[in-house]
């Protein structure tokens, strides 16, 4: 499945505009994301990601392929639910994968038509809005829809860097490897 995704920095006040568009709040999640790098190729160069996400609802392992275009974060994503993040970390490390960083955030999710709006308070970075739509082979419609929605909210930026990359740029001395 293709995850069409646009991200922009915003003010926490944007939640009023999101509400005014007629969105429905889906809930609040606290994410602890552990990222891993491959022993085979540097995911920072190949633009891939391997992540264990722990949130209230449970734990998931996600692989993200390289971004598919030049102006959004759209990419192939595959996810499985798992029951034990520590055992999974031990398996990944046994296979040669190396922890590359941790991202903690509080995500407020809204539904608006087919789109999911994620308002993220990211520890150490600030507030961001991500607009997500699921697509298949032809995801140009979803991409345009997400871009139009961003514009309606007064946001014209499109950040393609991950929170992990942004944290590393902000503070290169820290490897953001603190664990649970």
Q: Which sequence positions are flagged as catalytic?
A: 35
Q: Which is nearer to a second copy, 49 or 166 (CB)?
A: 49
45 binding a second copy? (CB under 8 A): no
63 binding a second copy? (CB under 8 A): yes
Three-state DSSP class for 66? coil
Residues 112-171 binding a second copy (CB under 8 A) are none
> With the C-alpha atoms ordered 35, 39, 43, 49, is the resulting torsion angle positive or negative?
negative
Inter-residue contact 63 to 37 (CB < 8 Å):
no
CB of 11 to a second copy, least distance (A): 36
Which DSSP symbol is given to 39? Answer: S
Long-range interactions of 63-66: CB distance < 8 A, separation 24+: 64/3
Q: Which is nearer to a second copy, 17 or 55 (CB)?
A: 55
How far is the C-alpha of 9 from the C-alpha of 161, rounded, in Å? 12
39 binding a second copy? (CB under 8 A): yes
CB of 88 to a second copy, least distance (A): 5
Residue with token string 């007629």: 22
Using CB under 8 A, list all residues that contact a second copy. Answer: 38-40, 48, 50, 61, 63, 65, 78-84, 87-88, 90-91, 94-96
């Amino acid at each position: 499945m293709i995850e069409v995704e646009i991200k922009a920095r915003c003010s926490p006040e944007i939640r009023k505009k999101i509400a005014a568009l007629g969105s429905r709040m889906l809930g609040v999640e606290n994410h602890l994301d552990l990222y891993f790098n491959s022993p085979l190729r540097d995911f920072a160069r190949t633009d891939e990601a391997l992540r264990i996400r722990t949130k209230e609802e449970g734990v998931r392992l996600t692989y993200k392929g390289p971004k598919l275009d030049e102006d959004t974060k759209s990419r192939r994503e595959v996810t499985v639910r798992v029951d034990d993040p520590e055992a999974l970390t031990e398996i990944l490390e046994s296979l040669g994968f190396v922890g590359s960083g941790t991202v903690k955030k509080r995500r407020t999710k809204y539904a608006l038509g087919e789109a999911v709006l994620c308002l993220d308070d990211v520890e150490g970075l600030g507030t961001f809005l991500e607009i997500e739509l699921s697509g298949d082979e032809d995801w140009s419609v979803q991409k345009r829809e997400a871009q139009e929605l961003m514009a309606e909210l007064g946001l014209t930026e499109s950040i393609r860097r991950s929170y992990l990359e942004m944290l590393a740029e902000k503070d290169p001395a820290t490897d953001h490897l603190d664990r649970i």
